[in-house]
Amino acid sequence: MNKDFFTALDLLEQEKGIPKDYMIEKVEAALASACKKDFGVGDNVVVRLNEKRFDFKVCLKKTVVELVEDPQLEISLEDARQKSKKYEIGDVVEVEIQTKNFGRIAAQTAKQVIIQGIREAEKIPLFNELSSKNQELITGIVQRVDQLNGNAIIEIGGKTELMLLSREQIPGESIQVGDSLKVFVSDVKKGVKGPMVNISRIHPGFVKRLFEINVPEIYDGVVEVKSVAREAGLRTKIAVWSKDENVDAVGACIGPKSSRVTAILNEMKGEKIDIIKYSEDMSEYVKAALSPAEVIKVTVNNDERICCVEVPESQLSLAIGKEGQNARLAAKLTGMKVDIKPIIGE
The span from the CA of 265 to the CA of 272, in Å, is 7
Residues 308 and 343 in one domain: yes
Contact 325, 237 (CB under 8 A): no
pLDDT in the model for residue 299: 94
CATH number, residue 296: 3.30.300.20
Tell me the angle at which helices 325-334 and 282-289 cross, rounded to the nearest 10 degrees: 150
Residues 27 and 63 in one domain: yes
Residues 120 and 15 in one domain: yes
CATH number, residue 105: 3.30.1480.10
The amino acid at residue 195 is: P
- The phi-psi region of residue 163 (left if phi > 0; otherwise alpha if psi is between -120 and 50; otherwise beta) is beta
pLDDT in the model for residue 226: 96
Domain that holds residue 58: 3-130
pLDDT in the model for residue 107: 67
Number of domains present in the structure of the chain: 4
Residues 221 and 157 in one domain: no
Residues 261 and 332 in one domain: no
Contact 175, 142 (CB under 8 A): yes
pLDDT in the model for residue 234: 94
pLDDT in the model for residue 121: 67
Residues 223 and 330 in one domain: no
Residues 124 and 26 in one domain: yes
Run means of pLDDT, 10 residues per run, the chain, 346 residues: 76 78 82 75 81 80 90 89 91 81 68 72 72 91 94 87 93 92 91 80 96 95 96 95 94 95 91 94 95 93 93 93 94 95 78
Residues 231 and 272 in one domain: yes
Q: What does pTM read for this prediction? A: 0.68
pLDDT in the model for residue 2: 65
pLDDT in the model for residue 20: 82
CATH number, residue 193: 2.40.50.140
- Closest to 295 (Cα-Cα) out of 304, 307, 306, 286: 286
Residues 31 and 100 in one domain: yes
Residues 211 and 103 in one domain: no
